[in-house]
Amino acid sequence: MRVTDTEFGDLLPMDDAGFFLAGDVRVNEQPGLVMLHTIFVRLHNHIAANIAGDVAANNPESDAAEMDELLYQHAKLVVAAIIQKITFDDWLPAIFGADAVNEYLGEYGGYDSSLNGAVCNIFSSAAMRFGHSMLPQRLPIRDADCNPVEGWPEDLEMRDSFFMPALWTENEEFMELLLNGFSCTLSNEVDVAATDSVRNFLFESVQDPLDLMALNIQRGRDHGLSDYNTVRAELGLDALTSFDELSSDSELNQLFNVLYRYDIGNIDLFLGLLAEDHVQGGSAGQLLTKIVLLQFKRLRDSDRFWYQSYIEQGPLRDFVEATTLKDVVEATTNIQELQTLDADGDLFQNENAISIFGPTLSPSTQSPVAAEPDLDGIDIQQHDVDNDGITDVITLNIGEIDDDSESSSGYKGPHYY
């Protein structure tokens, strides 16, 4: 895939105005988005480079254009599978807890053609925006031991990072410093609070500042979403009879009572979801958890191209299922090992994490990390590249995969933005 070659490593391609181009037009909004898009583009190219010889050997009569497309499709297949695995097996349990994931998502049972995989309005316009409450006031810019670095003594205010591609093109190791910071500091809780960076100063570098939480509330109203209590009842949960049942925080309940004019049927879905008490073992409330996990189940089970439906058991499947976000980071950046993770080596759940405003993490608190698969020796096994139902006969030869470490098994501690 096309990249911008810089002295700091491959970055995303850029337009004439100097902004990054990616599969999502919002990529430039803040550095966390740029970071994720960049490491997966790098991973794609990393895999493509490693399999080029095998693809060429198995397609000797293909011309350059055909080879380029074959190589792209092979790498895309592997990267898509890795993203699916990380999202469903690692991230969802970290946020919602293993018990809820088992209850609502369950084990994969194969492609179900009767399911509608469309994204429902209550998910896209309310529930899946819960992450906005987890955003930090500052983006942590840290060294390998989670210490502040010269030039960024107080990290980076998020309000100063919107639509700022120069952060990437003018600062050496910005990728590594940002990833170090994200891996060793805590996210904010899922709750009704939001940082000033998005509450009062959203996108102020390019326009009059906006209020993201107000936008979310108005979006729900513009989309005609039902109120919080109605959605509870529609999804089989007990409807609330008074504001005292909203949460265990009596002060918060009273604020909602006054705000919504003493009518329990008036609560905006988005705010109600954020106000709920968290379920046991998770970081979100009962209704939020159910909406999100049921949507992800539909997305998985209605997808003909879900990786478990077309990648057969074997070395490639083992490789995908052993790969974590930590592995992707270490394969695509100058970080050879994320040193501040706990013994599980899980980027989403790290018991060693500290508050971004707290004391630094001393080396004595660092723990060894779990073994990871080798991303450098990838060939390909046979599979259907163009999804036409015909198996393309190719080979896969991966070095030994250490899959002894367990995948995320539920909420074990803090998680990260």
Q: What is the pLDDT of residue 357?
A: 73
Q: What is the pLDDT of residue 376?
A: 52
Complete DSSP assignment for 342-400: -TT--TTB-TT-B-TTSPPPPGGG---------SSS-----B-SSSSS--B--------
The predicted-structure confidence for 1-32, as pLDDT tens digits, reads as follows: 999 999 989 999 999 999 999 999 999 999 99
Q: Is the pLDDT of residue 262 over 50?
A: yes
**DSSP state, residue 311:** S
Measured between alpha carbons, how far is residue 7 from residues 14, 46, 168, 340, 380 in Å?
Answer: 15, 18, 11, 27, 31
Q: Is the pLDDT of residue 415 over 60?
A: no
* CA–CA gap between residue 132 and residue 211 (Å, rounded): 11
Which is higher by pLDDT, 170 or 395?
Answer: 170
> Do the Cβ atoms of 265 and 229 come closer than 8 Å?
yes
Q: Which CATH architecture has domain 4-113+137-189+302-365?
A: Orthogonal Bundle (1.10)
Confidence of residue 203 (pLDDT cuts 50, 70, 90): confident
Q: How far is CA 268 from the centre of its chain?
A: 26
* CA–CA gap between residue 4 and residue 26 (Å, rounded): 18
Q: What is the pLDDT of residue 369?
A: 34
pTM of this prediction? Answer: 0.85
Domain segments of the chain: what residues? Answer: 4-113+137-189+302-365, 196-293
* CA–CA gap between residue 11 and residue 6 (Å, rounded): 7
At 53, the amino acid letter reads G
Residue 264, burial from CB neighbour count under 10 angstroms (0-12, 13-18, 19+): buried
